[in-house]
Amino acid sequence: MLLDLRSEARPLAPVLPRLPHLAASARATWTGRMVNEHASARVFEALADQMDLAGLEAALVEQCRSFADEERLHGALCGGVVEALGGSAVAQALVAKPFPCHDDATPMEGVLRNVLSVSCLSETVAVSLIGAERAEMPAGELRDRLTRIWADEIGHARFGWKVAPGLLAGLGLVARRRLETYLAVAFAHLERHELSHLSLVARPPPEGIALGLCSGADARTLFYATVTEVIVPSLESLGIAASEAWRRRLAWS
């Protein structure tokens, strides 16, 4: 199925620095971001539905649902960059995978698993990666755009870290142990996902940062640092054996 965001993206095309030798690489990068961001809307919609079914308060459910709108906007914002680079905001859409309902767990435990995976893991890593890219990027319309996206990602990650303690408080010992097993699985999934998007052969020239082109190797280093120095200690502070889960991820890789 094609994802066609041309009508939304074209009015959003930013003014970019002229770096024609990097345009093709930048188009590929921003097209990938467009596809991924747009697909994430489904994730937040499904998570909001799951939270609603589990009986979480309506304000939290609606907040989560609003993240889907933000992800769709991010898709268009990224598509605008593709258009500004001389490309077209059309690409093969990601195949929609079923959202896990975790029928083996209580409704709240199921929500917590998904909140950990989506917000506390994936979106927290995104905050690091985008934050680093933004820190290097020179001032301009693209940096402003990245700042807007980054701000939303901060909100998405923050949501998980806010919700998780309350959900966790309702879990008994057995459920916590199950959660730690799930966390190992989620870590393995996160690692596979991130490494697949952070190519070791991506070594753009220094001026590439002006178009959002980053070193894949550096980004991988930052990914691992974020997991081991931020996410794991934060989960540990909640009483989750996250260090052990990070070690055990290897069994699920």
Partner 1 sequence: MNALAFRAGLRASAKVALGLVVIGCGGVVGDAADSGAESLADASVPRDAGKAETALAPEAAIPATDAGLSDALACNAPPPSSLLPEGSNLDAAAAIDTATFDCCAASLEALLPADAGTIFQFPDAAAPDPALAACCAVVVMRLDHDYTVVENGDPDAAEATLQQDQTTAAPVRWACCNVAGHPEGPTCTPWGPPVPPDMPRGEVA
> Measured from the CB of residue 236, what is the shortest distance to partner 1 in angstroms?
5
Place of tokens 């691992």: 224
Q: How far apart are CA 80 and CA 207, in angstroms?
A: 21
H-run or E-run covering 15:
none
SS3 8: helix
Q: Report the residue number, 36 or 234, with the smaller CB distance to partner 1.
A: 234
Q: Is residue 219 a contact point for partner 1 (CB under 8 A)? A: yes
64 lies in the site for partner 1, by CB under 8 A:
no
Identify which range of 3-11, 73-81, 193-201, 223-231 contacts partner 1 by CB under 8 A. Answer: 223-231
Site for partner 1 in 96-125 (CB under 8 A): 120, 124-125
- Between the CA atoms of 188, 33, 119 and 199, what dihedral angle is there, to the nearest 10 degrees? 30
CB of 219 to partner 1, least distance (A): 7
176 scored as a contact of partner 1 (CB under 8 A): yes
What string of DSSP letters covers 170-238?
A: T--HHHHHHHHHHHHHHHHHHHHHHHHHS-TT----GGGGGGT---HHHHHHHHHHHIIIIIHHHHHHT
Judged by the rule CB under 8 A, the positions of this chain that interact with partner 1 are: 59-60, 63, 66, 120, 124-125, 127-136, 147-148, 150-152, 154-155, 157-159, 161-166, 169, 173, 176, 214-215, 218-219, 221-222, 225-226, 229-239, 241, 243
